[in-house]
Amino acid sequence: MFKFFDLGVRKHGVVTTRYPSEAFVPPEGSLGMPDVDGERCNMCGRCSDACPTGAISLAGRKVTVDLGLCIFCGECARSCADGGMFMSREFELATRSRGELEVEHDVKG
């Protein structure tokens, strides 16, 4: 009995993470929400061609990423030569409606 206590508690202390009372930041390079830098994007459409699930659409001066379709693969960011699309580390994305998952980004460049 004490052996377990020793191994489990005394040796490791509390292992439980503090999320959500404390913010959690995923490690660098982690594949979170694909995000658009409106200053750098030039609407070339490469990201949307590269996306395996067709989650990205371009219309007018807007890039729309549908997080409901996105599989967080990072293909879009890899295909974007101008730094417009990048993988953020954002993961708190749960919503109550399908519509809210379609994230619109205004493109200024």
Which residues bind to another protein, rule: CB under 8 A? 3-4, 7-8, 11-12, 14-22, 24, 26-27, 29-31, 33, 52-53, 66-75, 78, 87, 91-98, 101
Told to check if 71 binds ligand SF4 by CB under 6 A, we report yes
Residue 32 has which token pair? 């979170």
What's phi and psi for 49, nearest 5 deg?
Answer: -70, -35
Told to check if 72 binds ligand SF4 by CB under 6 A, we report yes
Name 46's Cβ contacts closer than 8 Å, sequence gap at least 6.
79, 80, 81
Told to check if 91 binds ligand SF4 by CB under 6 A, we report no
